[in-house]
Amino acid sequence: MSRRLLRPIAAAALLVLCACVGNTTFTSTWKSPDVTGLTPVGKTIVAVFVSRDESQRRGGEDAMVADLNRFGAHGIPAYTLVPSGTKPDAQAAQAAFKQAGANAVVVMRVVGKDQQITYTPGGPSPAYYGGFGPYWGYGWGAAYDPGYLRTDTVVSVETTVYSLERDKLLWASQSRTTNPDNLPALVNEVADATANEMVKQGLLAPPAKKS
């Protein structure tokens, strides 16, 4: 398979490259060993957000498409090709994507949501006990710090990238994002981290520097 045919595929993964991806970390990644240095510019890519909630599905796919378009790809939300209420098999979905002229598909799916509680302990402050006067003044000025609890929401997301021409998996990852503000923010955060990780692992070419 030539590189010309492979380039549209990994393009699906380059949703956005931003600096602030500190809230997302990866628990696992995998990339196809025979694909390197690809770009999304000018390619048609279907965005799929897997959810039984139609509003979440549409919101997720719209956010993914916006990111794809910002980087020169032509993104298509899957809900425009596979409408709500229909349950086509994989072949029917693939045929619909190809009929729309798509080269590749990127899929995001939330696989977990956890509450993570962190306790930061405090401690007693030293005080002078030799006399009541010194104790009274120092004790009030250096009272016990009781510590505090912090609760974070951690969302786990699976991201996969497929070649439609070859029906081949090019990328798979699972990530954890802490305290996303909303669904578009979650999608953008995961997209940022995923694209950066793909560049790091050589699957995607670094974005061209502006002159």
Q: Are residues 126 and 173 in the same domain?
A: no
Q: Are residues 143 and 46 in the same domain?
A: no
Q: Are residues 131 and 41 in the same domain?
A: no
DSSP-assigned states of every residue in 67-129: HHHHTT-EEEEGGGTS-TT----HHHHHHHHHHTT-SEEEEEEEEEEEEEEEEE--BPPP---
- Express each pLDDT in 87-133 by its tens digit: 667 888 999 999 999 999 999 999 999 888 877 666 555 555 556 66
Determine the structural domain holding residue 132 and report its residue range. Answer: 119-148
Q: Are residues 32 and 124 in the same domain?
A: no
Q: Are residues 14 and 78 in the same domain?
A: yes
pLDDT at 57: 92
Tell me the pLDDT of the chain averaged across its residues: 79
51: in domain: yes
Q: Are residues 101 and 48 in the same domain?
A: yes
Q: Are residues 101 and 132 in the same domain?
A: no
